[in-house]
Amino acid sequence: MNLMAWSEHFVSGIDAVDAQHKALVGMINAAAPHLASGGEEAQHAVGPLLDKLVKYAQSHFTFEEELMQAAHVLPVYFEQHLKTHQAFVQEVVQMRAQYEKGESLSGNDLLHFLTSWLTFHILSEDKHMARQVLAIRAGETASQAFASLDTTQGAPQAVYNAALVDLFSLLTARNRTLTEANAQVRDAKRELESANTLLEARVSERTHELADANSALQEERQALVDSIARLKQTQAQLLQSEKMAAVGQLAAGVAHEINNPIGFVNSNLGTLSGYLDHLLALLAVYAEARSSLPAALLARLEALPAYAELAYIREDAPDLLRECREGLARVKRIVNDLRDFSHAGDGGWAAADINSTLESALNVVGNKIRHKATVVKEFALLPLVDCIASQLAQVFVNLLLNAAQAIEDTGTITLRTGGTADAVWIEISDTGVGMSEETQKHVFEPFYTTKPVGQGTGLGLSVSWDIVRRHAGSVELHSTLGQGTRVHITLPVSHAGQTVAA
């Protein structure tokens, strides 16, 4: 004979929920004879049943919560229902921990708890949940479905109330056991306190001596930590300065070497353009004189392969020359940006166009970004800013490289600028992997890097922050894992006490 018989009062109206409830009833009925027998048989049955309950709770509660979320029930009811799930899981987990410690766990108590909770869960909570979900599916609003709950359910309600009484009776019995255990703990605590009083008198003197020694050590340690921090900061600035000097020398050399062939190509394109104009003029004269040519000569000309493509060549040649000039102009812009970047740290304070500085930085790192991200530019009209433009270009290069490296496959990097008459702001955001809160706490520290060993020095953001600080500006970083990072820089248009950064 089953401990619990499935009743029509248990039917919620949602087949999947009812099927899960029936499975739980069957699970309890199967274990009931073993749990009720007492002794070792009951103890052996407790562990497997608790494991099954944990798995069932994970699956069943997740299904019900997804069901309520899909129906958009009222948040207040969802939270209430969620708490009953959490309470059951906590109780089962606590019983499992008690069982694992080898403590006695009554099979009858477990049966009493499960049957009481199951009756309460099915007849009250899940019926209320099902009525609301079905009402919302039928067209009612979440508020209407919640308000229409009828708490007087006749026989089901009586069973529900009896189940609550049984549940509270079980909890009372367990609390009585805990009270007795607490009394024993209090007695043991008093004995320990007495022993501790004796020990404290002996330890106190030694503690004072150790405290004095520890205080002295702490002062020495703090002094050492401060010295190491200053040393690391100085080392970071020196390493970055050396790196930028080397990059600058290389960029200056590359710019110089490229400028000479650019001059040759530019000059030759001009000459070639003149030749092409003369040739096209000659072809125009030929077209006019074509009818007067001897038939034999005309036949020889028309037999030439180039003759058939003559009209296409006359149309395409000027376009090819134009594309060459445009490509050459782009190379010259990149070379100029490289030459400007090579002088980072050499310039003094001067009024600069932040939009142009940002464009130059983008040109310098364009090859790193072009194949990974689409660059979106939203530049506002800005006032000129008193700054060392080459140093700010270094900041923008660091941020753009970080944005590109944060994008694993392809994504978007957005550059925005804006401001007022007194201050301007620059924002660089990406759709990369983002950062954790812990990483954001340390990201501006020297030598802090999330890259593998050998792939990053951890100095880029630290130096960038220091440059912005020396420009009396501020840096804000906002990042979310899986969504990307946004860096917001604010700079004053003008400020007193300008000094060339070290």
Query: How many CB atoms are closer than 10 A to CB 282?
Result: 10
* CA-angle at 267, arms to 262 and 273, nearest 5°: 125
Residue whose C-alpha is closest to residue 114's, from 21, 19, 13, 232: 21
Given a contact cutoff of 8 angstroms between Cβ atoms, the answer to whether 92 and 54 are in contact is yes
Q: What is the DSSP string of 140-186?
A: --HHHHHHT-----SHHHHHHHHHHHHHHHHHHHHHHHHHHHHHHHH
CA pair distance 243, 129, nearest whole angstrom: 65
- pLDDT values of the chain reduced to their tens digit, one per residue, 502 residues: 566 777 787 888 898 888 988 888 888 888 777 777 767 777 777 778 878 888 888 888 899 899 999 999 999 889 988 888 888 888 878 877 777 776 666 667 777 777 777 777 777 788 888 889 999 999 999 899 888 875 444 445 444 444 554 554 455 455 446 545 655 776 788 888 888 888 888 888 888 888 888 888 888 889 888 888 777 766 665 665 555 555 555 666 666 677 778 777 777 777 888 887 877 777 777 666 666 767 777 677 666 655 556 667 777 778 788 888 777 777 776 666 566 555 555 567 899 999 999 998 998 888 888 888 999 999 999 999 999 988 899 899 989 998 998 998 899 999 999 999 999 999 999 999 998 888 888 777 765 565 554 444 456 677 788 889 999 999 999 999 999 999 999 999 987 655 444 3
Task: Select from 3.40.50.880, 3.40.1280.10, 1.20.120.50, 3.40.50.720 the CATH code of 8-151.
Answer: 1.20.120.50
Q: Residue written as tokens 């002295």?
A: 216
Cα separation, 24 vs 30, in Å, equals 10
Whether the Cβ atoms of residue 376 and residue 411 lie closer than 8 Å to each other = no
Model pTM score: 0.39
Beta bridge partners of 474: 490
Instruction: Judge whether 126 and 156 are in contact, CB under 8 Å.
Output: no
Q: Where exactly are the structural domains of the chain?
A: 8-151, 348-502
**Torsion-angle region of 383 (φ positive above 0: left; ψ -120 to 50: alpha; else: beta):** beta
Sheet strand arrangement including 373-378: 373-378, 411-419, 423-430, 484-492, 474-480
Smallest Cα–Cα separation from 106: which of 25, 22, 177?
177
Radius of gyration (C-alpha) of the chain in whole angstroms: 40
**Cβ atoms of residues 419 and 353 within 8 Å:** no
CATH, range 348-502: 3.30.565.10
Q: Which of 174, 62, 163, 54 is nearest to 117 (CA)?
A: 163
The residue written with tokens 């009743």 in the block is 7
* Phi-psi sector, 432: left (phi>0), alpha (psi -120 to 50), beta: beta
Q: Taking a C-beta distance cutoff of 8 angstroms, is the pair 42, 107 a contact?
A: yes
Q: What pLDDT score does 175 carry?
A: 46
pLDDT on residue 404: 92
Q: How far apart are the first and last CA of the chain?
A: 89
Asked if 8-151 and 348-502 have one fold, the answer is no
CA angle 79, 85, 91 (to 5 degrees): 135
- Dihedral over alpha carbons 100, 105, 108, 111 (to 10 degrees): -40
**Sign of the dihedral defined by the CA atoms of residues 209, 214, 215, 220, in that order:** positive
**Strand 411-419 to 474-480 pairing:** unpaired
pLDDT value, residue 479: 93
Taking the C-alpha atoms of residue 372 and residue 401, their distance in angstroms, rounded to an integer, is 11
Give the H or E element holding residue 412.
strand 411-419
DSSP-derived letter for residue 486 is E
pLDDT at residue 400, as a whole number:
93
